[in-house]
Amino acid sequence: MDDHRTAPASRRGSRPRPGSGRRLLALGSAAALAPALLTACGGGSGTTTTSDGLVQVTVGGGGSIFDTPLQVADANGYFKKQGLKMKFVTLTAATGPSALQSGSVQFFDSSPTGFVSALAKGLPQIAVSCDGLGNPLGLVVSKKFAAAHQLTAKSSAATVAEALSGSTGGSSSANTKAEAGIFLDKYGVDPDERVTWVSLPSPAADKAAINSGQIDWFVTSEPIPLQIQDAGDGVVVADPFKVPEWAAGQAGYGQLVVAQRSYATAHPDVVKKFATAVQQATAYMDTHLKDSDDRTVLKAARKSLAGVPDGVVQAGLQQVDWPTSGSMDAAGWKKTMAFLDSLGTVPTGAEVTADNWTNKYLP
Q: Which residues pair with 256 in a beta bridge?
A: 110, 130
- Mean pLDDT to the nearest integer, 279-295: 88
Note the pTM of the prediction, 2 decimals. 0.84
* Preceding peptide of 223 cis, ω within 30°: yes
Q: Which residues pair with 48 in a beta bridge?
A: 39, 56
Q: What is the pLDDT of residue 39?
A: 34
Q: Is 337:10 a contact under the CB 8 Å cutoff?
A: no
Q: What is the pLDDT of residue 142?
A: 98
CA-nearest of 262, 266, 284 to 28 is 284
Query: Which stretch of 39-43, 197-201, 349-353 has the lowest confidence by average pLDDT?
Result: 39-43
Residues of the chain with pLDDT > 90: what percent? 78
Contacting residues for 121 by C-beta, under 8 A, at least 6 apart: 97
- Mean pLDDT to the nearest integer, 77-91: 96
Concatenated DSSP letters for 337-350? HHHHHHHT-S-TT-
pLDDT tens profile 229-271: 999 999 999 999 999 999 999 998 999 999 999 999 999 999 9
Q: Which residue has the higher pLDDT, 337 or 15?
A: 337
pLDDT tens profile 121-171: 999 999 999 999 999 999 999 999 999 999 999 999 999 999 999 999 999
Q: Is 6:178 a contact under the CB 8 Å cutoff?
A: yes
Q: Is 298:334 a contact under the CB 8 Å cutoff?
A: no
Give, in degrees to the nearest 5, the angle at Cα 201 between 183 and 91: 95
d(CA 216, CA 109): 32
Phi, psi (degrees; rounded to nearest 5) at 299: -60, -40
DSSP 359: -
Q: What is the pLDDT of residue 122?
A: 94
Would you mind telling me the total number of residues written for the chain in this entry? 363
In this model, does residue 120 exceed pLDDT 50? yes
Torsion of CA 345, 350, 355, 361, to 10 degrees: -10
d(CA 46, CA 44): 5
pLDDT tens profile 46-78: 678 888 899 999 999 988 999 999 999 999 999
Q: What is the pLDDT of residue 28?
A: 35
**Can you tell me whether residue 301 is helix, strand or coil?**
helix
Phi, psi (degrees; rounded to nearest 5) at 16: -65, 145
Contacting residues for 153 by C-beta, under 8 A, at least 6 apart: 229, 235, 236, 237
d(CA 52, CA 37): 9
In this model, does residue 328 exceed pLDDT 90? yes
Mean of pLDDT over the chain: 87
In this model, does residue 82 exceed pLDDT 70? yes
d(CA 58, CA 18): 36
- Mean pLDDT to the nearest integer, 172-184: 94
Burial of 297 (0-12, 13-18, 19+ CB in 10 A): buried
